[in-house]
Amino acid sequence: MLEPPKTFLPHGGNYKDLAVYKKATVIYDMTFYFAHRYLQKSDRTIDQMVQAARSGKQNIAEGSSASTTSSETELKLMNVARASMQELLVDYQDFLRVNHLKQWELSDADSIKTRNYCKSHQEPEDFMRDIDKRTPEAIANIVITLIHQFDNIMGKLIERLEKDFVAKGGIRERMTAARLGYRNQQNDEIQRLQEENRRLQAEIERLQALLGL
């Protein structure tokens, strides 16, 4: 009996469980607060920063959701998310520079403490709690740290997606493989039935000969 063809569609995961999405959510929440709190209302950078942070978050969600039907679209949107965060990184660096504030060096105590905290904390409330008590310099540097960690995780995710795409192909390749697999299964079943039919025919002929028919 033929089994139904195996699906060629991969199972998409829950993007909200991705570490890179959790980082993006924290970055968005902090950026929304920062831009509206420390930039002038007439400054176009407010919208630019918020939109860049939103793009980083939303494109992960859209890319992950599209993974079921299009690996190409998933890869494209993940790269868009990564590029959006790089744009946001420059905005924070510019803010620190033009306001004569310090961007922490890797060896600074505050930088080391922040990197360790950001690695072990993923939820927005971990960063939004008492944010109004932090200086704009501190908030900017925390978000810069988060963006660097985001970029590192996203780079590894994109690399894995690229390897999966090369190994498994896109939707067209998987559809073709599924069709060929089903056809091969059909051919094997037909061959089995033909062999069974020949065996039964030979048995009938043997019995007829034995009975003198």
10-residue mean pLDDT profile of the chain (213 residues): values are 41 78 97 96 93 96 78 88 97 97 96 96 95 97 98 93 73 54 69 81 76 69
- Kindly state the tokens that stand for 190: 């037909």
Of 140, 147, 157, 136, the C-alpha closest to 77 is 157
Specify the length of the chain in residues: 213
| Residue 186: partners with Cβ closer than 8 Å, 6 or more residues away | 2
CB atoms within 10 A of CB 125: 9
- Kindly state the tokens that stand for 45: 């950078």
This model's pTM is above 0.85: no
| Residue 92: partners with Cβ closer than 8 Å, 6 or more residues away | 49, 140, 143, 144, 147
